[in-house]
Chain A
Amino acid sequence: MSEVSQGEGWWQASDGKWYAPSLHPDVASGEPEPEPAPEPGVPAGVVVSPERNPASLELVGIRAGYGRIEVLHGIDLTVPAGSVFALLGPNGAGKSTLLKVAGGRMRPTAGKVLVADHETHRHGGADALARAGVCSIPEGRGIFPNLTVRENLLIWTYQGKVRLPEVEERAYARFPKLGQRRKQVAGTLSGGEQQMLAFARALVGNPRVLLLDEISMGLAPLIVAELYEVVGQLAAEGITILLVEQFIQTAVAVATRAAIVVHGRVEREGSPAEIAAEAAEHYLAGSGG
């Protein structure tokens, strides 16, 4: 637990509860953190529930690809327990592939993935990893379009020791719109509702690590904001989060740390603010304009 406070600025007050870095007295007094998060997007004063037991995620020398084509050329990345880490970079740089490897959905050709200092390949595939607390929300719509909302939630119960009523309660409390459509076939929901349904999986089974792949894709800004509010809350609860996001500002607002991935390599790692400035150049700047 103490790693958490040292690594990412989460700190334990004398009352035994955990507080967000921005509330740390040192920050207020002007004493800089080792890796200060300039604008932590965590709602102030949120209490970290100790039972979350956040885990660190570490990628060591990861190489991976499709067929004979290598996409990741040796990635080293450490996501400390309880931190929110944003991966930025141009399309096709390998960010999604990186998340796939981290979530056990793809076997690296070299290197290893460590969750809470345990090598994950000993867990088996993505299913075993999911049950061990690594929750992947994939790119696109991570739902089963031919099943109803409720049936999707039923499948989400595979992830942890929870029962359907409990999952329904949590999901509908968080996303009331889903509650109104529990018997509707998921494929006929709007894009935002589909993403909420996908996201509901992060709410069940007490995941320790959350891997989010462009959850904003194709969604209206209001819905994106709503989803990121949940991300902020999950972060505040102490879940370790590694996210890929095309919207720099959105990502930076919630992240405590960030990196740019270009051509399958981590080009730079740093505080979200620094990285954001650089990533924006990659996206919109343009030398010829």
Chain B
Amino acid sequence: MHEFLQFTVIGIAIGAVYAVAASGLVVTYSTTGVFNFAHGAVAMVSAFSFSEMTVTHGLPVWLALVVVIGVEAPILGVLVQLLMRRLFGASVERSLMVTLGLLLILLGAADEIWGGQSSRQPGQLYSGATSYSVLGVHLTVANLLVMIVAAGVAIFLGFFLKRTRTGVAMRAVVDDPDLLAMAGASPARIATMGWIIGVVLAAVAGILIAPLQGGNLSQTTLTLFVVNAYAAAVFGRLRNLPVTFVAALGVGLGETYIGNYLQQYEPGFTQNWLSVPSQTLPIVFLLIALLILPQDRLRAVGRAVTTRIPKVASLGQSLVGGAAVVALALLASVALGTDWQGIVRQGLIFGIVALSLVLLTGYAGQVSLCQVTFAGVGAFAMGKVTGGGSWLGVLAAVGLSAGVGMLVAWPTTRLRGLYLALFTLAVAAFADAWFFTNTNYLFDYNHSSSLLIKRLGLFGISFEGNRAEMILLAVAFALASILVLALRRGVFGRRLVGLSDSPAACATVGLNVKATKLAVFGISAGLAGLAGALYGTNQGFVGALDFQFLISLNVLLMLVIWGARSTSGALVAGLCSAVLLQKGGNLSGIILGVGVLVIGWLPNGIIGTGWPMLRELVRDRSPGEAPAPEAELVEDAGHAA
């Protein structure tokens, strides 16, 4: 009983921090319609700044608080709003990519500033060790302080959002910014308030949680603790603050009870299956929260701003393009040094992952943050079938990951946009924590922490040599891009684009939206699985860290930068991802994050925008092509009729 009460106190304290973080998410979302994936990163940066000021430079706590919460966080909030302003009214997917980019920028910046120093103590709001004993339960001042702050936040938000004009306008702005403007309020100003409050609450949560996590400050742990807040916010449907608060307390308590009791009674289980409960359980909570979300009804959406699909290559053109890729690879294998050859090989593999995203995200509009997870599943199958390195293994890789892809898609066919992105994020995190790192049972039960995969051979030709492997990978990429383009030309491709443009219209012409989504997830995951299998053959082994969530993010964002609807974009994105991972160091996140901001200006990506412009330019320059484009079009089309 005493133990239970003790866990309860700790659980409430942790839940209180989640509540503060989650309410920040909810305020921002309900004011701007943007779910801030960088919320955790903001908390992390704030905790580090606070520690820097109080621990390293010995500033008084109150001064540090004023600087971090009163100056740093609001400035960050205003900056984010300025970024987001360009995306006002843009698709959920685009603003989502930008907050993901922001996440990478903040992580990269923190790495650059604080990465070199190994150990760093969290800043304490109250450094004394005083604690009270109530009914035999240990209550530290730190815990008490957290609870008081959370209660204060709840009361403040309740008052502010219900009673003040700005607060009421904040609740209204997302529903109808146009009407708010007609009523004389500036939607942009109201949205800015939403960002400032959200970012400030993230900062407060970061400062509060850092000491509770114990030990040194960790960038990853601090950034990921927000996944708990995600779960709480999703329980509150991202709009309802009271439910979010209660859910946050529930998540905190659940995590504490389950983690502590399991540790106590089933230490073996915990060690083998949970690794760090505070990191693995939140993912489960988030998955549960998303799975119990109510059905999303099909709705007519009217005319959305769409991105242009570049002209689709014919079979002949795509064959020529494929041959060109192989030829370039051959050239690269002669001209480049060993180091860069390795990067190009990896780039081709990432390119295949990017191709799978062209299909899924580019054409069908379904955001996936777990594409590299599918690749990992493929690598697992490759490594397990006939000892690794057989064509049978490649088949198994494609089949298994396609199956997993459809399994992931099954509950998500009713989710869209943001919720789908959150779900795939949770799947990726789940696989990171429970599968790839579980070398005892699941991923690699030889306890050697890496799964060996041999190079392939074909008709007596071995791909042992790196040059041969390079050609193999180039051929694989070429075939995959020919496949993606062929799908796009056909029935299936039109359906995918239709699905992305108007699901309601798809349904009313008789298309089974759910089946189409399952199919595209399956094919896309299968393609990613192929990439995973090839990744294994290229590297000779795969380990726990090869298929992390951040790599999925890297490839996805890179593809978006270059053009999510083009296969050449996929190639460039794959190569750039490999270069960035191998050579970018700390700066890679910042480079990628800043790059993603490009889509505020170029929704079609660099290639998607540049290519048609280049064609126009060439057409304008060349003499003799007098007729206006319009006239030419109609005339051309006349032949077919």
Contact = CB atoms under 8 A, between A and B. Distances in A.
Do A and B share a direct contact in the complex (Cβ within 8 angstroms)? yes
Given A151-B172, A154-B165, A154-B168, 17 more contacts: A105-B178, A125-B181, A126-B182, A127-B186, A130-B181, A130-B184, A135-B182, A138-B178, A142-B182, A143-B179, A147-B171, A155-B180, A158-B184, A158-B185, A159-B183, A201-B182, A201-B183
A218 interface: no
Given A147-B171, A157-B165, A205 B184 contact: yes
A287 B186 CA distance: 49
A167 B314 CA distance: 65
B181 A144 contact: no
Contacts of A160: 184
User: Which of B175, B178, B303 has the most chain A CB within a 10 Å cutoff?
Assistant: B178
A183 to B, nearest CB: 12
Q: Describe B's contact surface by its main secondary structure.
A: helix
A145 interface: yes
Contacts of A201: 182-183
B179 A138 contact: yes
Contacts of B181: 105, 125-127, 130
B545 to A, nearest CB: 45
B169 interface: yes
Interface in A152-176: 154-160
A146 interface: yes
Given A151-B168, A154-B165, A157-B165, A146 B175 contact: yes
A155 B182 contact: no
The bracket for how many chain A residues form the interface is 20 to 34
Interface residues of B, number: 18
A86 B441 CA distance: 77
Given A154-B168, A155-B168, A127 B175 contact: no
Nearest to A151: B168
A156 B169 CA distance: 10
B176 interface: yes
Interface of A: 66-67, 103, 105, 125-128, 130-131, 135-138, 142-147, 151, 154-160, 201, 205
Contacts of B569: none
A125 B179 CA distance: 12
B172 A146 contact: yes
B187 A127 contact: yes
A248 B183 CA distance: 28
A102 B176 CA distance: 19
A125 B189 CA distance: 13
A163 to B, nearest CB: 10
Contacts of B303: 66-67
Interface in B541-560: none
A156 B168 CA distance: 11
Contacts of B169: 155, 158
Contacts of B179: 138, 142-144
29 contacts: A105-B178, A105-B182, A126-B178, A127-B182, A127-B184, A127-B187, A130-B181, A130-B182, A130-B183, A131-B184, A138-B179, A138-B182, A142-B179, A144-B172, A144-B176, A146-B171, A147-B171, A147-B172, A151-B168, A154-B165, A155-B168, A155-B169, A155-B172, A155-B180, A155-B183, A158-B185, A159-B184, A160-B184, A205-B184
